[in-house]
Each structure stands twice: as C-alpha cells, then as structure tokens.
Amino acid sequence: MSMNNDQVSVLNTNKLKKKNQLPDKTTILIPCFNTESLDFILYYALPVAKQFNASLSFLFMGDEYGFESFKKELHKFFPNFLKNNECSLYHFSTQYKYAPVMEKNQQDEEAIMVIFPRMPSGNFLFFRQLAFMLKVKKLCLPYMILQPPVNYDIKWAPQNIIMPIGYRRTDKDTAVWASYFKRFGNSNITILYAKENDIISQKEIKNNLKFIKNMYNKLNISANIVSAKTNSGKLQFEAVNLAQEMKNSLVIITSTKYYGIEHYFLGPMELQTIKNPQKIPILCINSRKDLYVLCK
C-alpha cells in the first residue's frame, strides 16, 4: 500500500509468521479517526485476524494530539498488543481518499481486507452514507463497516458463515471468501438461497448454486444448503435473522455492482444490511475482476 507525505509515525511493522498457505505478512487495514470506537474495532477485528493469522494495521487520521491519545488507548486495552508484533500503527495528519490508498499493498505487507469502524455521521446523514458507499464500492479488497456489539461480555468469533444466494450472478462471488473462513478457521458455511416464483430467477439461482457446489467439491469443502422463505430482495435480511439465531456468525454479501436511479434515492441493498438493527457483522465483497483473493 502506498503511503502519502503525511505519514509521520510507524510502529512495529514486523508481522506474525503465517500458516495454512496464506501469503506472508498478511494484514487487515483499519482506518481510525478517534479512540471512541477502538473497543468494538478490536472486538471484531481480533477474531478475524486470528483466523487468518494476520496482523492489524491501524491508519489513524487526525492531529498529533489525537494520535497520541489513540496510541495510549491501544496500549490501555492491550498492553502487550504492539510488543507481540500483531499490530502496526500509522499516522496521517489529514484525511485522504480511501480507494486509491487501500487498493494497494502497504509497503511489503499484504492487505487482505479493510475494516471501517462505523458509518459516517452528522448532517445530511443519508447523503453522507451514500457518498461513502460509492467510495468503498471501488475497493478491490473485501470490507466490513462495523456497529457496536449488543453485549461486549459475549465473545464473538466468525464460527458460522452465512451466504445469501439470490438470482444475481454476482452473488456467487461470496463463495471464495466464505471458503477461506472454512479452510483457515474451520468455520461452518451455510448457503441460504432465495425462494423465487419465476422460472428465469430460479434458473439463475440454480446456476449460482451449481457453481458454488463445483468449487467446494474441488476444494473438499462442505456447506449446509438451506432454502429461504423470502425472495432475493429480502434475502439478506433473512440471512441476518438466521445469523442472530446461530450466534457467532458473519454474513458475507456482494455489493451492488451498478447503481440505478433507485439506489441514489433509497440506497443500495448492502447499506441497509450493514445497518441491521441486530448488529450482525457483514463482510461485503465488491464484484470485480481484480478482486483480491488469497493463495489456494
């Protein structure tokens, strides 16, 4: 990942040794603006990093005072976090555009995904969130946009991976990343496919399922295939409800590839899924030819 001239501090760029044929020095990028969200960032990011044996690269954007406060808070939560070579901390004095920076590798490190602390806030909330979604849909890395967990006392881990599969051909793009959680973390995969009445939609769903089954057979991966009660338009919401029932779950979805006029008025489907009231974590996959994938 290329750095700009605003970088003023780097801590501990050494990374953990990787296993399970993952690329060397894998890391998860985490843009940060304050210390308020650090607790739930670590709540979700640490279990994901553990599964992929990856480090965390915090990209703090703000003034020197804020950076020093963030660094102290990081040590407060995990006194040995930096000493164990599991974390890197970078400082940018000003905010920068997300996509051009995060689409590239960070020095000699391999960035595998991006975790954003939360959605934008402030005045004209919907338009700020829509502008943010237009930016992150350009990423070639998978991304998560977090919400604070309901209960910090209950430890979370991505043990159950849920894939909603509808009639969109891009829905099958989630299969690769779901397989990584199975292969590197022994997670359980549940494929939730939509219930459609028209023949054309049914055919597309069957094609998606066939593609995923063939891929998983070659990888020797098992998955539980479940029929949904709803159609493709409501499928992601049913996936969130299922994730809440199963506990320790992560829903993997594909983002909207092309925006129509309705998306600029109502927002893309993934925006509402990410903001689900159950606060289930969502991993979004941008459907594109240069999508980042791990080693087989």
Tell me what pLDDT residue 14 has: 32
In this structure, are 113 and 169 located in the same domain? no
**Which residues neighbour 50 within 8 Å (Cβ) at sequence distance 6 or greater?**
157, 185
pLDDT above 90 as % of the chain: 50
Is 170 domain-assigned?
Answer: yes
In this structure, are 105 and 177 located in the same domain? no
Would you say how long the chain is, in residues? Answer: 296
* pTM, entire model: 0.87
Greatest Cα pair distance, the chain, in angstroms, is 60
In this structure, are 165 and 109 located in the same domain? no
In this structure, are 107 and 167 located in the same domain? no
Inter-helix orientation angle 38-52/64-77, to 10° = 60
Range of the domain at 101: 7-117
Q: What is the CATH number of the domain that holds 54?
A: 3.40.50
> At which of 117, 152, 169 does a domain end?
117
The helix or strand, by DSSP H or E, that contains position 46, with its residue range, turns out to be: helix 38-52
Instruction: Give the closest residue to 168 by CA, choosing from 276, 290, 269.
Output: 269
In this structure, are 266 and 197 located in the same domain? yes
Which tens digit of pLDDT belongs to each residue from 191-249? 999 999 999 999 999 999 999 999 999 999 999 999 999 999 999 999 999 999 999 99
> At which of 117, 149, 168 does a domain end?
117
> At which of 59, 92, 117 does a domain end?
117
Is 196 domain-assigned?
Answer: yes
Tally of structural domains, the chain:
2
Residue 8's alpha-carbon distances to 92, 213, 295, in angstroms, are 7, 48, 33
Is 165 domain-assigned?
Answer: yes
**Which residues neighbour 126 within 8 Å (Cβ) at sequence distance 6 or greater?**
267
Q: What is the mean pLDDT of residues 117-146?
A: 87
Question: 45 with 78: CB under 8 angstroms?
Answer: no
In this structure, are 95 and 184 located in the same domain? no
In this structure, are 279 and 174 located in the same domain? yes
Is 45 domain-assigned?
Answer: yes
The pLDDT of residue 67 is above 50: yes
Is 155 domain-assigned?
Answer: no
**Which residues neighbour 35 within 8 Å (Cβ) at sequence distance 6 or greater?**
66, 69, 70, 73
**Which residues neighbour 239 within 8 Å (Cβ) at sequence distance 6 or greater?**
162, 163, 164, 192, 228, 251, 253
In this structure, are 164 and 277 located in the same domain? yes
**Residue 5: which pLDDT band, with cuts at 50, 70 and 90?**
very low
Tell me what pLDDT residue 278 has: 95
Between 73 and 101, residue with greater pLDDT: 73
Tell me what pLDDT residue 286 has: 92
Instruction: Give the closest residue to 165 by CA, choosing from 217, 248, 250, 225.
Output: 225
In this structure, are 100 and 184 located in the same domain? no
Q: What is the CATH number of the domain that holds 225?
A: 3.40.50.620
Is 250 domain-assigned?
Answer: yes
Q: Is the dihedral of CA 130, 136, 142, 143 positive or negative?
A: negative
Backbone angles phi, psi at 164, to 5 degrees: -80, 125
Which tens digit of pLDDT belongs to each residue from 29-44? 998 888 888 989 999 9
